[in-house]
Structure 1
Amino acid sequence: MSRQKPSAADGGTTTAGEVPLPRIIRAMAVIERVGNALPHPFWLFWLLAAILAVSSAIMAALGVSVVSPSDGETVVVRNLLSGDGLAMAVSTMIDNFASFPPMATIVAVIMGVAVAERSGFLAALMRVSVSRVPTGWVVFAVAFAGTMSHVASAAAYVILVPLGGLAFRAVGRSPILGVVVAYTAIASGYDASPIPTPNDAIFAGITTAAAQIIDAEAYVSPLSNWFFNIASSLVLATVITLITKFVLEKRPDLDPDPDADLEDLGALRLSTEERSGLRRALLALGVALAVLTAITVPAGSPLRGADGGLAESPLLAGIGAVVALLFGLVGIVYGQRVGTIRRPADVPALMVQGIRQMAPVLVLFFAIAQFLAYFAWTHIGDVIAVRAAEALETSGIPIVVLFLFILVLLTLINIIITSGSAMWSICAPVLVPMLMLVDVPAETTQALFRIADSGSTAITPMSPYFVMALGFLQRYRKSAGIGTLASYTLPLAVGMTLVWTLLFFAWWALGIPLGPGAPVR
């Protein structure tokens, strides 16, 4: 066992031989104080709306306007503090909320995911995914499971982070490292899931609303980044594996405390009923996908678009409902086998639990919907987008440099505002139209955002899940502090962000579609 010695750097202790990170820890302390000074995201959006109102009054008084490149019409900034602005704000408040693009889709998806999660299917799937792998593949398995676990939303942290510790200990490796790998894979790979998640619906809805500032008919599908996400999850899992092997495993402080309360390894094993339920659920999923494919393949399928393609088809338009039904199906089949669903009435009860868990997000959506509606009505977004696009064209800045600037900017913002939907709601109305005017598709801008929204999440103490992961880490090392966890996650988070960025640029250079009907250029 490694000896430990006190350290003032993280407010706790550090292990002999561990490289102290006082500058990083001081910086994180500053970030934590700044972040704590921010209001709740609900009030943050109302504050932004107030700033928007004052800005619109000033810009309207100055007669600020631009010529729309889409139709050649002059667009003038409108005063939100005027009588017309007040009438709009009051009369459309309910409609803004009801028509908020992600609203219906996310509620539908969550109902299906809730059945799969609350029945125990997702937890069983995660457990089997990290337990039945050879010793040499355990890091990759835990990392890849972390990128897939986002279908369970916040529950991914609760389920997989402790399982990571168990999986590593089961093969004779450090459970501390298992916790770190699982947490970082979830946090810094959050938007790279190969399986469609509720976040895909949220981001697509916000991106659609932003794109409609330029093109009223614009639509961004929840699957618009799916191909990129699949590749990203595999690449990020590989990066985590390599950094863990060549960097983290070289640290001398990987042994748990001698008196650590080590969990029962049986928690990794599935019971007979759970194994049977998992097999039946996956069989049902395979049959459902086969039926869906058989219906979609024929050229005259009603699920295809008017031109016979899938890019603008009923299937993609209703992909949220399809995903919800598939999750609901596997949850019901699994739950009936293991006994978590005993009667039909149990299914809607599980859906209600899922919606109840989403209540804070729905409340936040109310404020976001008003802000976005006000932003669109004032035309400030049009002015910023057109002026910024003109400046970019005249400056001759390479698009790759612009992408890098946006990535750095969003990464820094993400350290303070860890809610992806909140950050994208603030940034999308400016970035998406601006880049659309220089021929960058909205789906591409969203892919850029995914990288920035994920990379720095594993190192910021502003994330509530950082504190949760620290709690799991302290099961094995009671003296661990914020600096301890950050020193483990930092190499992983930085490596993942750099490689993910390189993957994006390679994707852009090769012109590979980001998803069905979503060209990168």
Structure 2
Amino acid sequence: MNATAIDVSAPPRSAVDRFLVVVERAGNLLPHPATLFFLLTLLVIVLSAIAAQFDLSVLHPKTGAAVEPVNLLSVAGIQRIMGGLVTNFTSFAPLGTVLVALIGIGVAEHSGLIGACLRIVVLNAPRFLLTPIVVFAGVMSNMASEIGYVLLVPLAGLLFIAAGRHPILGIAAAFAGVSGGYSANLLLGTIDPLLSGLSQEAAQIVDPAYHVSPAANLFFMQASTPLVTLLGWWVTEKIVARRFPDGDHAQGDERIEPLSAAEKRGLLYAGLATALFTGLLLLATVPANGVLRIAGEPNLMKALAPFLHSIVALIFLAGALVGIAYGVGAGTIKSDVDVIKGMSKSMETLGSYLVLVFFAAQFVALFNWTNLGLIFAVEGAEMLKALGLPKIPLLIGFILLTATVNLAMGSSSAKWALMAPVFVPMFMLLGYSPEVTQTAYRVGDSVTNIISPMMSYFALIIAFLQRYEPKAGIGTVVATMIPYSITFFFGWALLFAIWIAMGWPLGPGAALTYTPAG
């Protein structure tokens, strides 16, 4: 039985279909994220003038001093906007971290290392473990930006064909891991420094000295990885497989080529480089006088502060070193020119991201200058306190809010740049750390990725499906992925609630609570 595509131009056949049509049309009305941030920046300027006109003010929760809005439509405000245009962009916290991390990962991707690793994982999977390994590989692919979408998802379709299963079932399992499990991983990736940088910018509205580590959610992410894998496995086999039964679905010469001798040699070289890098890292962090430790500091987390602050640099070094080793072994890197090409190629894909960051940086900077973020946070915190919601329902509600917003605004970083300046300070004033708020955001941001037409790779997934079902459309994707989305939401929210209730740390040195300094 093949998937049936839904013609969105025809009258909707169910409540779910009608909802999806509304979401698609509403999302199409939104401007480009960069344009959206530009419009929001103009709105902030206007709101700052209105707030100043009405003399809105609150008491600073830390100092007790009056916090008044800054009018950016004044002479001084306009001068500040014009004078800060460049520095707002260059000092934007996520910019440098993402660029540095991607330079190293670009080498690993360009050399073929990442593609070879994904292929060796899926090629060696026993048939009964095929689905969980594909889901797990999808989750783990996120440490290398978004390569899972363009490599693992179509590869999973071919893999399932080779195993005598429906290719769309493989595509669904891989897509669930890559996109639905976007915030789960055993290791850190490029999204971690990006989100932590935005969280830090927002936290400093309340506490200018607050630091959010890229590893702030690491422990929770690691625990989430087997959860997402198991849930994705269950949904694939118990729900989705009923619509896509096994059989001969091959179309022409569709097979996954085994690793060549050169690729195997490259993986051997990469393994040796990984062992060397790991040994050096242990040497720098385990001994009390290691170069990435604070000598004489008895508290382990504080002693490892240099290591935690070096995570972006370590991602860069690991990607470059292991990628070069693989390339030398596989013959894909023959000189320093090839290394630079790999680094440059990763930068070529960031043109639109840099434009987006420029406008997002202006919005964040102006929002902070106006004091509107702190004013809204104090007023919002007082309102939430008045509601008297328990901690867990409040945070689960925030997860649901994020999941809903994700249906209309797909970019994870763009949404967090918009939401963090409001919600991070607000929850800080209620006693919750920025790390907790960021974790709740990441859960909500992940679970509806797979059913959001605004997700940047949604159209690509439709194209993959159309290879096996020409009539497949948005309805096919959403109807296939909704069971994953619902299951991930309830399962992940339950894990989050248990984690918070037990008081477990979300990452190295990441507290659950925040207490303003007196």
For residues 444 and 54 of structure 2, the distance between their equivalents in structure 1, rounded to whole angstroms, comes to 36
Q: Which residue of 408, 411, 426 corresponds with 2:400?
A: 408
1:266 alignment partner AA = I
- Residue 256 of structure 1: how far off its partner (Å): 7.7
- Residue 255 of structure 1: how far off its partner (Å): 5.9
The corresponding residue for 2:422 is 430
Q: Which residue of 69, 75, 89 corresponds with 1:83?
A: 75
Instruction: Give yes or no for contact 2:402–2:441 (8 Å, CA) kept in 1.
Output: yes
Q: Which residue of 264, 285, 289 corresponds with 2:254?
A: 264
Q: Secondary structure at the match of 2:58?
A: strand
Counterparts in 2 of 1:118-129, with a 5 A limit?
118-129=110-121
Q: Which residue of 186, 190, 193 corresponds with 1:198?
A: 190
The corresponding residue for 2:262 is 273
- Residue 263 of structure 1: how far off its partner (Å): 4.8
Instruction: Give yes or no for contact 2:284–2:293 (8 Å, CA) kept in 1.
Output: no
The corresponding residue for 2:319 is 327
1:471 alignment partner AA = A
- Residue 334 of structure 1: how far off its partner (Å): 0.6
String of CA shifts for 1:381-423, please: whole Å, max 9, x gaps: 0111111112222332112121122111111111111001110
Structure 1 window deviating more from structure 2 (180-189 vs 375-384): it is 180-189
Counterparts in 2 of 1:46-57, with a 5 A limit?
46-57=38-49
The corresponding residue for 2:109 is 117
Q: Which residue of 64, 75, 82 corresponds with 2:56?
A: 64
The corresponding residue for 2:278 is 289
- Residue 476 of structure 1: how far off its partner (Å): 1.4
Q: Secondary structure at the match of 1:478?
A: coil
- Residue 155 of structure 1: how far off its partner (Å): 2.4
Counterparts in 2 of 1:478-493, with a 5 A limit?
478-493=470-485
For residues 383 and 398 of structure 1, the distance between their equivalents in structure 2, rounded to whole angstroms, comes to 23
Instruction: Give yes or no for contact 1:176–1:256 (8 Å, CA) kept in 2.
Output: no
String of CA shifts for 1:229-273, please: whole Å, max 9, x gaps: 11112110110001112111223x446897x63553233x21111
Mark the CA change 1:343 to 1:8 in structure 2 (over 3 Å): closer, same or farther.
closer
For residues 365 and 256 of structure 2, the distance between their equivalents in structure 1, rounded to whole angstroms, comes to 52
For residues 145 and 107 of structure 1, the distance between their equivalents in structure 2, rounded to whole angstroms, comes to 24
- Residue 315 of structure 1: how far off its partner (Å): 1.3
Mark the CA change 1:492 to 1:350 in structure 2 (over 3 Å): closer, same or farther.
same
Structure 1 window deviating more from structure 2 (114-123 vs 182-191): it is 182-191
Instruction: Give yes or no for contact 1:257–1:476 (8 Å, CA) kept in 2.
Output: no
The corresponding residue for 1:445 is 437
Q: Secondary structure at the match of 1:266?
A: coil
For residues 469 and 490 of structure 2, the distance between their equivalents in structure 1, rounded to whole angstroms, comes to 30
CA RMSD of aligned residues (A): 1.9
Instruction: Give yes or no for contact 1:67–1:73 (8 Å, CA) kept in 2.
Output: yes
- Residue 10 of structure 1: how far off its partner (Å): 5.6
**TM-score, reference length from structure 1:** 0.94
Q: Secondary structure at the match of 2:457?
A: helix
The corresponding residue for 2:100 is 108
Mark the CA change 1:415 to 1:310 in structure 2 (over 3 Å): closer, same or farther.
same
For residues 21 and 456 of structure 1, the distance between their equivalents in structure 2, rounded to whole angstroms, comes to 22
String of CA shifts for 1:157-203, please: whole Å, max 9, x gaps: 11001111122222222211001111121111112122211111110
2:263 alignment partner AA = E
Counterparts in 2 of 1:226-375, with a 5 A limit?
226-251=218-243, 253-254=244-245, 261-267=251-257, 269-305=258-294, 307-308=297-298, 309-311=300-302, 313-375=305-367
Instruction: Give yes or no for contact 1:21–1:487 (8 Å, CA) kept in 2.
Output: no
Mark the CA change 1:157 to 1:7 in structure 2 (over 3 Å): closer, same or farther.
closer
Instruction: Give yes or no for contact 1:9–1:22 (8 Å, CA) kept in 2.
Output: no
- Residue 278 of structure 1: how far off its partner (Å): 1.3
For residues 185 and 52 of structure 2, the distance between their equivalents in structure 1, rounded to whole angstroms, comes to 44
Instruction: Give yes or no for contact 1:414–1:453 (8 Å, CA) kept in 2.
Output: yes
**TM-score, reference length from structure 2:** 0.94
Q: Secondary structure at the match of 1:57?
A: helix
Instruction: Give yes or no for contact 1:151–1:196 (8 Å, CA) kept in 2.
Output: yes
Q: Does 1:511 align with 2:500?
A: no
Mark the CA change 1:333 to 1:156 in structure 2 (over 3 Å): closer, same or farther.
same
For residues 33 and 69 of structure 2, the distance between their equivalents in structure 1, rounded to whole angstroms, comes to 26
For residues 391 and 299 of structure 1, the distance between their equivalents in structure 2, rounded to whole angstroms, comes to 48
- Residue 11 of structure 1: how far off its partner (Å): 6.6
For residues 166 and 280 of structure 2, the distance between their equivalents in structure 1, rounded to whole angstroms, comes to 44
1:278 alignment partner AA = L
For residues 412 and 81 of structure 1, the distance between their equivalents in structure 2, rounded to whole angstroms, comes to 34
- Residue 9 of structure 1: how far off its partner (Å): 5.4
Instruction: Give yes or no for contact 1:455–1:497 (8 Å, CA) kept in 2.
Output: yes
String of CA shifts for 1:54-74, please: whole Å, max 9, x gaps: 111111111101111111111
- Residue 349 of structure 1: how far off its partner (Å): 1.9
String of CA shifts for 1:452-508, please: whole Å, max 9, x gaps: 111111012222312111111111112222211211111011111211111111111
Structure 1 window deviating more from structure 2 (48-57 vs 273-282): it is 273-282
Instruction: Give yes or no for contact 1:385–1:437 (8 Å, CA) kept in 2.
Output: yes
Unaligned runs of 5+ in 2: 514-518
For residues 62 and 100 of structure 2, the distance between their equivalents in structure 1, rounded to whole angstroms, comes to 34
Mark the CA change 1:358 to 1:349 in structure 2 (over 3 Å): closer, same or farther.
same
Instruction: Give yes or no for contact 1:116–1:331 (8 Å, CA) kept in 2.
Output: yes
For residues 62 and 350 of structure 2, the distance between their equivalents in structure 1, rounded to whole angstroms, comes to 38
The corresponding residue for 2:31 is 39
Mark the CA change 1:62 to 1:243 in structure 2 (over 3 Å): closer, same or farther.
same
- Residue 376 of structure 1: how far off its partner (Å): 0.4
Residue identity (%): 39
Q: Which residue of 136, 144, 150 corresponds with 1:144?
A: 136
Q: Does 1:462 align with 2:454?
A: yes
The corresponding residue for 1:15 is none
The corresponding residue for 2:208 is 216
Q: Does 1:22 align with 2:11?
A: no
Instruction: Give yes or no for contact 1:303–1:314 (8 Å, CA) kept in 2.
Output: yes
Mark the CA change 1:3 to 1:59 in structure 2 (over 3 Å): closer, same or farther.
closer
Instruction: Give yes or no for contact 1:115–1:351 (8 Å, CA) kept in 2.
Output: yes
The corresponding residue for 1:16 is none
Q: Secondary structure at the match of 1:463?
A: coil
Mark the CA change 1:499 to 1:3 in structure 2 (over 3 Å): closer, same or farther.
closer
2:504 alignment partner AA = I
Instruction: Give yes or no for contact 1:165–1:179 (8 Å, CA) kept in 2.
Output: yes
2:283 alignment partner AA = A
